[in-house]
Amino acid sequence: MTDTESSSPTNPLSEMKREDIHPSLLTRKIIHFDMDAFYASVEVRDNPDLAGKPLVVGGSPNSRGVVCTASYEARKFGVRSAMACSQAYRLCPDAIFVKPDFERYAAESRKIREIFGRYTSIIEPLSLDEAYLDVTDNPFGLRATQIAKRIQDDILNELNLSGSAGVAPNKLVAKIASDINKPKGITVVMPEQVLKFMGALPLRKIHGIGPATEKRLQKSGFHYCRDLWSWSAAALERELGNIGPWLYNRTRGIDDRPVRVHRERKSLGKEDTFSVDILDLAQLDKELVTLCLSVEAALKKRCIQGKTIVLKVKYSDFTLLTRSQTIDTATDSIVDILEVTRGLMKVTAAGRKKIRLLGVSLSNLSSTGDSFQLGREETSPLDDDD
Q: List, by residue number, the catalytic residues.
A: 130
Work out the number of other CB atoms within 10 angstroms of the CB of residue 14: 9
Q: What is the DSSP letter of 231?
A: S
Work out the number of other CB atoms within 10 angstroms of the CB of residue 236: 20
**Which are the contacts of 33, defined by CB distance < 8 A and separation ≥ 6?**
116, 130, 131, 133, 148, 151, 163, 164, 165, 178
Please spell the DSSP secondary structure of 310-339, one letter per residue: EEEEEETT--EEEEEEEEEEEE--HHHHHH
Distance CA 192, CA 195 (A): 7
* Edge-to-edge order in the sheet of strand 55-58: 67-70, 55-58, 96-98
**Which are the contacts of 141, defined by CB distance < 8 A and separation ≥ 6?**
none
Helix (H, G, I), strand (E, B) or coil at 187: strand
Distance CA 261, CA 279 (A): 44
Between strands 55-58 and 96-98, the pairing is parallel
Q: Is residue 35 a contact partner of residue 112, using CB atoms and an 8 Å limit?
A: yes
Q: Within 13 Å, how many C-alpha atoms sit on residue 185's CB side?
A: 18
**Which are the contacts of 286, defined by CB distance < 8 A and separation ≥ 6?**
none
Give the closest residue to 272 by CA, choosing from 358, 381, 379, 382.
358
